[in-house]
Chain A
Amino acid sequence: MLNLSGIGKRFGGLTALDGISFNVGEGSITGIIGPNGAGKTTLFNVATGIYPPSSGAVLLQGKDISKLPPEGRARLGLVRTFQNIELFGKMTVLENVLVGLHTQSKAGIFSCAFRMPWQMTEERRVRERAKELLDFVGIPELMDVEAGTLSFGKGRLLEIARAMALEPKLLLMDEPAAGLNSSETAELADLIKKIRDLGITIGLVEHDMDLVMDICDQLVVLNLGTMLAEGTPREIQDNQAVITAYLGEE
């Protein structure tokens, strides 16, 4: 599904990533883990087009998307969530999901201003779909609440609903469990599996090892900007290099 080949990223003299290559298998849940400063978030930003890679290529279903801006990648089905939830705080929960449905609708400035009949039909359709998505993540009752007032956990659910609105083929989540308590994390794990069962491939950067070991099919371990290991959760747990990176030399 997503193929990273030889990704490198430098900021001035600082090498943040070097020679990262791996494949996120279709239909899998792939976790990217590593100690602080390993380059996980940078890798994420390169994959989603926030900044261009200094070297290497990002391939989505075999197509080179290295030069596409974030919105172009979103249109191809690569969608992300943020570590610090980036909701549209001054808009309602429903409107947030409606913005997610932006690419699923196409009314432009004129048809919106003049309320063309087909635009009205489209508007009804996207509103229905937005409500379905809020049902899917389990917060339909919060529809008209201003998103900025949501708790962190509910905000995360809304962000996932909004991302799902883009009909992703591949959903990348940046530390989805950060800031959640244990019951919220358990709910999140169920939700992520539910999304995978819809046939959507998932990639996630995560610190919460219990969550990662529970839901991921495949893990990639980064350390200091390079690839340390790749494999199933079981293989990674037994990998000596990974244990050293996390716990330090004996």
Chain B
Amino acid sequence: MELFQQITQFVISGLATGAIYALIGLSFAIIFNSTGIINFAQGEFVMLGGVMTIFSLNVLHLPLIAAIAVAVAATTVVGVVFERLAIRPLKNATPLALIIITIGASILIRGVVMLVWGKDTQALPAFSGNDPISVVGATLLPQHLWIFGVTVLVIVGCRLFFHHTISGKAMRACSFNRRAANLVGISVGRMVLFSFVISAAVGSLAGVIIAPLTMTAYDVGVMLGLKGFCAAIMGGMGSGLGTVLGGLILGTLESLGAGLISSGYKDAIAFFILLLILFIRPQGLFKKGETERV
């Protein structure tokens, strides 16, 4: 019975972190689908969300909601500046150049945050207290509920945006065929910028809602980013349900592995899964293989 309770506990906390990975995975997929770029600085957007919220709360003394809004907005601005300064100047860049540039941006952002706010780990207070709720013998924190709620909202929001608004449809058109989209009058450049905006906003929001659970610091972006990427790969780099499932599965496996096998190897679990999927099913867990058109 005790084992059962333990496992329930691991699954609950795993699903919560998994939801975060899903959000980060979505933010990867949004940029990838409109530009073909895997943004190695994606994790820094997540980190910025958490760090900026804490800054707005503690230094600017804003109320929580305003602090979150400021953090998400500021991260979005960073996303825009990044796209303008580092991505746009390179027309027809090779994937190699883009990888190097986004890595450069990633360590640049990390370095600036370290210089401005220092290396200390900081905590964000939970949104609505820490009184645990008991569910089938395991404890659920109010923050977990916030995470699930926000994740569902973001996913529904993205779905509505991409399928039911003109801008969203235009962005999807770009992801299917950039040239054709351009020919029917869609400004591809603007859609790329949009994708950075949305992606930075989603990523930073993920960083905000996880910060009360895991604390945050200038260097949390690398791991979170990589695990989000892993979720996106599991979902086949789509911005749909596959990535969400990928994130949830990854979070749960990681939490179970850490709890039942060894906590030291917790981070390694995600990477083993990542490598396995890249080697065996690079098209994602849920997609059928497509005929390659050269």
Contact = CB atoms under 8 A, between A and B. Distances in A.
Please determine if A and B sit in direct contact within the complex, based on CB atoms under 8 angstroms apart.
yes
B96 interface: no
Contacts of B290: 12
Contacts of B294: 45, 50-51
9 contacts: A10-B291, A11-B291, A11-B293, A12-B290, A12-B291, A45-B294, A50-B294, A51-B292, A51-B294
For B290, B291, B292, the residue with the greatest tally of chain A CB atoms inside 10 Å of its CB is: B291
A108 B291 CA distance: 35
Contacts of B292: 51
A10 B292 CA distance: 11
B121 to A, nearest CB: 46
A12 B290 CA distance: 8
Interface string A1-39: 000000000111000000000000000000000000000
Nearest to B293: A11
A49 to B, nearest CB: 12
Interface of B: 290-294
Contacts of B291: 10-12
Given A11-B293, A12-B290, 5 more contacts: A11-B291, A12-B291, A45-B294, A50-B294, A51-B294
Contacts of A50: 294
A45 B293 CA distance: 11
Task: Give the interface SS of chain B, mostly helix, strand, loop or mixed.
Answer: loop
A50 B292 CA distance: 11
A12 B289 CA distance: 11
A214 to B, nearest CB: 31
B238 to A, nearest CB: 17
A229 to B, nearest CB: 28
Contacts of A12: 290-291
Contacts of B293: 11
A194 to B, nearest CB: 31
A50 B293 CA distance: 10
B266 to A, nearest CB: 39
A12 B293 CA distance: 10
Contacts of A51: 292, 294
Nearest to A51: B294
B242 to A, nearest CB: 20
A191 B292 CA distance: 35
A2 B135 CA distance: 71
A84 to B, nearest CB: 12
For B290, B292, B293, the residue with the greatest tally of chain A CB atoms inside 10 Å of its CB is: B293
A204 B293 CA distance: 22
B294 to A, nearest CB: 6
A196 to B, nearest CB: 29
Nearest to B292: A51
A17 B274 CA distance: 38
B41 to A, nearest CB: 28
Nearest to A50: B294
B259 to A, nearest CB: 44
A132 to B, nearest CB: 33
B97 to A, nearest CB: 14
Interface string A37-80: 00000000100001100000000000000000000000000000
Contacts of A45: 294
A47 to B, nearest CB: 14
Nearest to A9: B291
Q: List 9 tightest A-B contacts by C-beta distance, closest first.
A: A11-B291, A12-B291, A11-B293, A50-B294, A51-B294, A45-B294, A51-B292, A12-B290, A10-B291
A11 B293 CA distance: 7
A138 B292 CA distance: 38
A141 B292 CA distance: 41
Nearest to A12: B291
A60 B287 CA distance: 37
A51 B290 CA distance: 13
A103 B233 CA distance: 38
A250 B96 CA distance: 53
A193 B292 CA distance: 36
A51 B293 CA distance: 9
A82 B292 CA distance: 19
A146 to B, nearest CB: 17
A170 to B, nearest CB: 21
B179 to A, nearest CB: 15
A50 B291 CA distance: 13
A56 B291 CA distance: 18
A10 B290 CA distance: 12
